[in-house]
Structure 1
Amino acid sequence: MTDHDREPGAYVDASGARYVQVGDHNRMHVQAAPRPPVAWPHRIGTPPSLAAARLERGADRELAQSLAESGGTQILYGTGGVGKTQMAAYLAQQLWDNDELDLLVWVTAASREQITDAYARAALDLTGVEDKDPAHGAERFLTWLAGQREKRWLVVLDDLADPQHAKRLWPPVTATGRAVVTTRRQDAALDGHGRVRVPVGVFVPQESLEYLRMRLRADPGWLAEADGLAADLGHLPLALGHATAYMLDQVLPCAAYRGLFADRARRLEEVFPDQQTLPDEYDRTIATTWSLSVEAADRCRPIELAGVVLEAASLLDANGMPAWALDEYVQGPETIRQGLANLQRFSLVEHQGDLVRVHTLVQRMSRERCSDTRMAKLTTAVADRLLARWPAEEGDQEFCGMLRANARALHQSAGAHLFRRNAAHGVLLRSVESMGLAYQADAAVEYVANIYHECVRFLGADHPDAFKARYEYGRLLGQFGDVTAAIEVNEALLDDAVRVFGPRHRITFAVRGQLARWAGVEGDTVRSARVSRNVADEAARVYGSDDPSALIARERAAYQRGMAGDLPGAIGEYRTLVEDAARVLDPSERGMFMIRGQLAEFLGRNGDYARAVDALQELLPECVRHLGADHGITLTMRSQLARWRGASGDVAGAVAGYSFLLSECTRVFGAGGKLTEATREMLADWQKRLPGQS
């Protein structure tokens, strides 16, 4: 039949059409052209491009191994910016390039609708059937996956915003199929048959440096202070990527960028690329990335609690803060538990036991969002909480080390807010004292000097807290060996103390006592003993002989008397002082142990080794019981006991005592600690005296 033979309107040209709809008299006929068969291997969806200078991470190898060993679904979880999407994209690319996949499906899983729509499109590609309801198409796709026995497939659900979005949409567990899910969530709802959680953290330091070398083209000048920059950014892959993009655009090497980044007057958004200059196809700034997570956590019950808890956590040590330090601000341990649980669900914090960890950039973002008024109240509440929990005696060095780290972090974060109400918060000098007790010499001296300068800045040079900081500065200088500097500091301090407070003030008496002490250490023991006795007598007249200030002055006078050579006189004074102090001090107080320990010390110096050993053997168990095995006084008592045992002829006992003390000091202070090194030298000295040793 030719075109001229056809009835007008009876035929249509459907070449190239997928669907044809015809009809007449209210009757319609739909004819679908058959879809072309799928070409294998087949890819649905578009994974993101790999980031510039993308390096293979240890986490990549761990993911590949876990996928090979357990199959099923690997759930990559972690805070925003650790590289979860890049890991999934890298894995997918590797499997695809190595011909290990017949089907790759990449799905953006920010909503349930996105997942079902992507599944429905995949079903259309694979089965040729288009469902009007995407939910039916998604079901068809999952059925197709479950029925495969030969086709090797990988489904990636990227950035799953809510586990409920994947309900009844999880890829099936089969012999030939695998799935990877990336998410910030850590909800229990993620668990299920065939699902393996894989935590993703930040770069290890070596990876950070390798990334910087690759991204900055290994220019030696640019890489100066690269390790410091990586630490400043908390080794966060996204932060390193954004920072290097900013550095390249602004022509800033690592050292110069560190200076900008350290400037607290600059907000994060000022030292990272803006929305228009984001690298590596990212569509969110770092601040936006985390802000969205905080907002989502705040929507969890109790409403708007997570952000408040994060504000408090933003002031403390990112590597480990006590959860109880946040209690006072958010009113109760149960409330803090709920707030931390919501933050952990979105990988904004790690909460294990009593410790909380937060990435340092998350902290900075949270602080920048906090108003000055709110920050002031928050700082005081957290500082009060730390000080209230600080033990009077530091027997648990691990716990006290955690307190010191958090007090310093709070100081660094809060600054001027710790000098409100016309005073320096007590947590500042308490942390200095703790550093001294832990034999952290250089750190303690530097830190108390900084506190003094801030006291002068915020309170004035004549404020009592400024005097206290100067006093601690001088005391620590002398304690850790710089006696000449200690004398100079205390001489200037004494003049100012007399001018501001008068000659009979407690601060003035304390400074005079310190001057006498360091004069004795420098060798002027006679003058030191005389001045110490004058200070003790005056303090007793002004405050009473049983006043704590008077007792301290008397103890120093007795000590200097003994150092000046009058050992029997010093022993007599210490025996009287033990009796008098017992009326005022609790037997378990540090002061009582120090007085009794000094009595034993001078007994030994006077040649009465047996009584010195007996006194210390009686004293040591009490120190362990009341102060703790790790307390500095306890360790000092062990050293004295070992020394006087050796002096009495028990060389083996001295070696045994110093050997045990060395293990204790190494455990508490580390192999390089000052007390550890001193103990090692003493042990070596007594080992030489063992029979048979040359």
Structure 2
Amino acid sequence: MIPRRAGSFQDRAEVHRLRSAVEGGGTAVLCQVLAGMGGVGKTQLAADHARHAWAVGEVDLLVWVTAATRQAVIDAYAQAAADILHTDPADPERAARAFLAWLEPAPGRPRWLIVLDDVADPADLRDLWPPAHDRGRTLATTRRRDAALATHGRLVPVGLFTPAEATAHLRHALAAQGRTEPEPDLAALAEDLGHLPLALSQAAAYLTDTELSAAAYRTRLTDRARQLADLLPEPGQLPDDQSTPAAAAWSLSVDRANELRPAGLARPMLELAAMLDPNGIPQQVLTGESALGYLTAHRSFDHRHSPTPGPSSVTEEEATGALRALHRLSLIDHSPAEAHQAVRVHQIVQRTLRDPLDPDHRDLLARFAANALTDAWPDIERDAGLASALRANTAALIACAEGALYQHAAHVVLHRLGESLGSSGQVAAAVQHFQDLADNTAHLLGPDHPSTLASRSDLIFWRGQAGHASGAAEAAALLLEDQLRILGPDHPNTLTARSNLASLQGRSGDAPGAAAAFGALLEDHVRVLGPDHATTLSTRNNLALWLGQAGDATGAAAAFATLLEDHVRVFGPDHPHTLTARHNLAGSRADAGDLAGATAAFATLLEDRLRVLGPDHPHTLATRHNIAHFQGEAGDPAGAADATAALLEDRLRVLGPNHPDTLTTRNNLAHFRGEAGDPAGAVEALTVLLEDHLRVLGPDHPNTLATRFSLAAWQGITGDSHGAAKATAALLEDHLRVLGPDHPDTLAIRTTLTHWRQLAGEQ
């Protein structure tokens, strides 16, 4: 019997793709194989194609075979032989061979279509594929994607519904029961269910049986205390003659994948993937050291398929083999060429793997997944795509891990996520993340726990980066009080809190106070950590920096020169810290008036950074930035513009369009082009840049305020003094609100406003 047509069958693209292969009864494709994950509607597509072929007279003989096992295929062929050839069914294999022989071309033979539905293993069809000729066609459905299937016919991948098809499916299924729901709610529910046909049809039946609204059902879906099996119809109440609830639709596939080589690894691999982002997981996350540790500890051997089981460590090659096994069973999509999203898993498959896990196993799995993400996270994010994928996977893990990442301490991956958000330019998101982290650690671990203090410290840092230096400084002072009370004055974290407070003091406009604070901190760092400790040297760097900001450019340059000598002695000439010290010394020389010496120093530094760090390292790009800057300062704005344009191409490629360094490069390019004679072009470029600053960094970020200042200045240079005055006046209000009346930048804005008002003839 051909399966009954689903009540809300969708006329999707695959329907027409199947029919077009045999247009007008032709024989373009003699065998087609519908391949896809369980629940995407392969059987319904095959049934629709079979009914259509019969209805329009394309075939004279139609045989539907449920091909879940080899014996089932043999029995179906034997029954056909008995019905057509009157063969004795007592010997099924002989009868099946007779049927296949009869399908061979011969005068007077009918046109036939054989449908092999739900092929579980390509090996089951060895010697049982119908013959290929222009009087017959074969259509198979399977979850398998083995290469062997492609040798028998054209593979037709069957995927999920499109969003429009999924929403229409829900609408029609509910309408058949006299139900209507708001279209946005249906679209949102379809998204929650991942546009999977099986889940959609069963959810519609559940809504009908329970009289729940789509919005209320979505709320239950997000309740982690509920299992998916409890949110779908019971086995006896499934729609469209379905035999398996969605929550159990993939269990047999998982078992089969687990039997494939390397045996015993598919299930634990799928468990790991079930904790991560369904839209794409970098392969190195699932094949790194922590992932291999989980696979080794949870490998499930079946002695029938693995004659020499043992506790030996799983290798990266075996882990990749497990991914391929899952791919062959359509439980995942594994595309190694897509480096950052190599593994995709449907969210319903993920949930069916997570739901049955006991709480202890689930917590353990979450921590292994967090370790795997940490393993894959580079110290320096040179690859913006990888960083974005790691952030998405960490967010997915947080959503399903509950409190597992806060056992004894906040897992380091939580801090890496916030740092990555901030470093990629998403400063507001970093502030919100660390606010949530500080709240969670205080609630789960206590207000005095080291994780809580560390989260507060990170929150303070990124609040400062977001432009709220004064508020961050107040929070830093409170944190320092708690650090002194809990950890004591000489604890490294207490000293770090003092360093953060001193920096915020300087960024709030008190450069002399910051220099004095770093001077006092340096004495304690030397006493507690020693003169050659990296943190001590970093404090000396900060002291020299704020000395320069306080107006002592000569003293700052001398301090940086001495500091460089100690870096060479302690770390060696090619250490990144030493190269950074050379960078800072070159900059201090420029501040002291030695522009030629600074330019030469940066040029030499660039050679060494290219040699040691490579052309795409952020520090190498920063050196190129400074060389272009001083080229413009030396009176060559056209050359500076060319160098900055080349730098922008590389920063876009390496860091992405939203990184703060990329935005800064765009600002500099506009400036140099204006200096080279195109002020109107500078206004146009800065106008577009300001929109991106507002979108990426927010209205109060220092870089956003600086871009507004530059835009107003170039607006005035083009002759629009009134517009420049108006823009500068609005900017002054925001500087007063964000930075306060005594901040140097606020004072500079006041002076500039007076200038533009005078030029505009305003009082």
Distance in 2 (alpha carbons) for counterparts of 1:431 and 1:295: 35
Helix, strand or coil at the partner of 2:11: coil
Match of residue 139 from structure 2: 180
Partner of 1:344: 327
Amino acid at match of 1:441: V
CA distance in 1, matches of 2:191, 2:241: 25
Out of 261, 268, 272, which is 1:308 matched to?
Answer: 268
Q: Is the 8 A contact 2:382 2:654 kept in 1?
A: no
Return the letter of the residue paired with 2:383: D
Task: Tell me the equivalent position of 2:29.
Answer: 71
Instruction: Give the C-alpha shift of residue 630 in structure 1.
Output: 4.6
CA contact (8 A) 2:631 2:639 kept: yes
Scaled by the length of structure 2, the TM-score of the pair is 0.78
Q: 1:499 to 1:303 in 2, by over 3 A?
A: same
Alignment partners' CA distance in 2, 1:312 and 1:364: 12
Structure 1: distance between partners of 2:373 and 2:89: 61
In the TM superposition, residue 478 of structure 1 has moved relative to its aligned partner by 1.5
State whether structure 2 residue 249 is matched by structure 1 residue 289: yes
1:324 aligned residue: 287
TM value normalised by structure 1: 0.85
Stretch of structure 1 that moved more, 437-446 or 285-294:
437-446
1:318-467 alignment to 2 at 5 Å?
Answer: 318=278, 319-322=280-283, 323-325=286-288, 326-330=291-295, 331-333=313-315, 334-353=317-336, 355-420=342-407, 422-467=408-453
Q: Return the offset for 1:405.
A: 3.6
Query: What are the superposed Cα offsets for residues 84-112 of structure 1, whole Å, 9 maximum, x if unpaired?
Result: 21222232233334443333322111122
- Call closer, same or farther: CA 1:341–1:671 in 2, change over 3 Å: closer
SS in 2 for 1:156: strand
- TM-superposed CA distance for 1:283, in Å, is 1.0
Partner of 1:28: none
Matching residue's letter, 1:347: S
Q: In the alignment, which of 559, 571, 574 is matched to residue 573 of structure 1? A: 559
Shift of 1:260: 1.5
Partner of 2:125: 166
CA pair 620-59 structure 1, distance change in 2 beyond 3 A: farther
Aligned residue in 2 for 1:563: 549
Aligned twin of 1:85:
43
Match 2:8 to one of 38, 43, 53: 53
Give 1:271's aligned residue.
231
Structure 1 vs Structure 2 CA RMSD = 3.0
Equivalent AA in structure 2 for residue 111 of structure 1: T
> Is 1:118 the equivalent of 2:73?
no
1:643-669 superposed Cα distances (whole Å, 9 cap, x missing partner) = 222112222222222222332333345
Residue 474 of structure 1, CA deviation: 1.2
Structure 1 unaligned blocks of 5 or more: 1-45
d(CA) in 2 for partners of 1:184 and 1:535? Answer: 65
Mapped to 1, the partners of 2:357 and 2:96 lie a distance apart of 44
1:298 and 1:580 map into 2 onto residues whose CA distance is 58
Computing the radius of gyration over CA atoms, which structure comes out larger, 1 or 2?
1
**CA separation of 1:549 and 1:669: change in aligned 2, threshold 3 A:** closer
Does the Cα contact within 8 Å between 2:526 and 2:536 map onto a contact in 1? yes
Aligned mates of 2:196, 2:471 — CA distance in 1: 43
Q: SS state of the match for residue 32, structure 2?
A: strand
Deviation at 1:226, TM superposition (A): 4.7
Answer yes or no: is the 8 Å Cα contact 1:298–1:305 preserved in 2: yes
Q: Structure 1, residues 99-130: CA drift from partner, whole Å, max 9, x if none?
A: 43333322111122322232233334444555
Preserved CA contact (<8 Å) 1:395 1:627: no
Aligned residues: 647
SS in 2 for 1:281: coil
Q: 1:492 to 1:692 in 2, by over 3 A?
A: closer
Rounded to whole Å, the distance in 2 between the matches of 1:60 and 1:458 is 53
Structure 2: distance between partners of 1:604 and 1:66: 72
* Structure 1 residues 249-272: Cα deviation after superposition (integer angstroms, max 9, x where no partner): 334444332221112111111222
Q: State the 1:479 CA deviation.
A: 1.6
SS of the residue aligned with 2:331? Answer: coil
Gaps of 5+ in 2: 296-312, 681-763
| Counterpart residue identity of residue 54, structure 2 | W
CA distance 1:236–1:521, change in 2 (3 Å): same
| Structure 1 residue 133: Cα displacement | 2.4
Q: Tell me the equivalent position of 1:9.
A: none
Distance 1:212 1:488, change over 3 A: farther
Amino acid at match of 1:52: G
1:472-522 per-residue CA deviation (whole Å, 9 max, x = no partner) reads: 111112223333442243232122112211233222222222222223223
Does the residue aligned with 1:280 lie in a helix, a strand or coil?
coil
Which residue number in structure 2 is paired with residue 471 of structure 1?
Answer: 457
Distance in 1 of aligned mates of 2:663 and 2:422: 16
User: Contact 1:586 / 1:592 at 8 angstroms: preserved in 2?
Assistant: yes
**Matches of 1:648 and 1:59 in 2, distance apart?**
65
TM superposition shift of 1:275: 1.2
The residue aligned with 2:190 is: 230
Residue 638 of structure 2 is aligned with which of 652, 665, 671?
652
Give the direction of change, closer, same or farther, for the CA distance of 1:690–1:328 in structure 2 (3 Å limit): same
Aligned to 2:300: none
Q: Which amino acid aligns with 1:597?
A: H
- Do 2:648 and 2:665's aligned partners in 1 also have CA atoms closer than 8 Å? yes
Conserved 8 A contact 2:166-2:195? yes
* Pair 301,221 (structure 1): closer, same or farther in 2 beyond 3 Å: closer
Distance 2:622 2:509 in 1: 23
Q: How far off its partner does 1:292 sit? A: 1.8
Which of 530, 536, 541 is the matching residue for 2:527?
541
The 3 A distance-change label for structure 1 pair 221 and 87 is closer
Give the Cα–Cα distance (whole angstroms) in 1 for the partners of residues 544 and 570 of structure 2: 18
Secondary structure at 1:369 match in 2? coil
- What is the deviation of 1:626? 4.5
Does the CA contact (< 8 Å) of 2:382 and 2:655 recur in 1? no
**One-letter amino acid of the counterpart of residue 461, structure 1:** P
Question: 1:66: Cα distance to partner?
Answer: 4.9
Q: Distance in 1 between matches of 2:550 and 2:54?
A: 84
SS at match of 2:195: coil
Instruction: Check conservation: 2:425, 2:658, Cα contact below 8 A.
Output: no
Question: For residues 483 and 416 of structure 1, what CA distance do their matches in structure 2 show?
Answer: 32
CA distance in 1, matches of 2:203, 2:578: 56
Residues 590/400 of structure 1: CA separation in 2 closer, same or farther (3 Å cut): farther
Q: Which moved more, 1:468-477 or 1:484-493?
A: 484-493
Q: Given the alignment, which residue of 568, 571, 587 partners 1:582?
A: 568
| 1:184 positional shift | 1.2
Aligned residue identity for 1:574: F
Q: Tell me the distance in 2 between the aligned counterparts of 1:212 and 1:585.
A: 65
Maintained 8 Å contact 1:593/1:619: yes
Measure the CA separation in 1 of the matches of 2:20 and 2:659.
Answer: 41
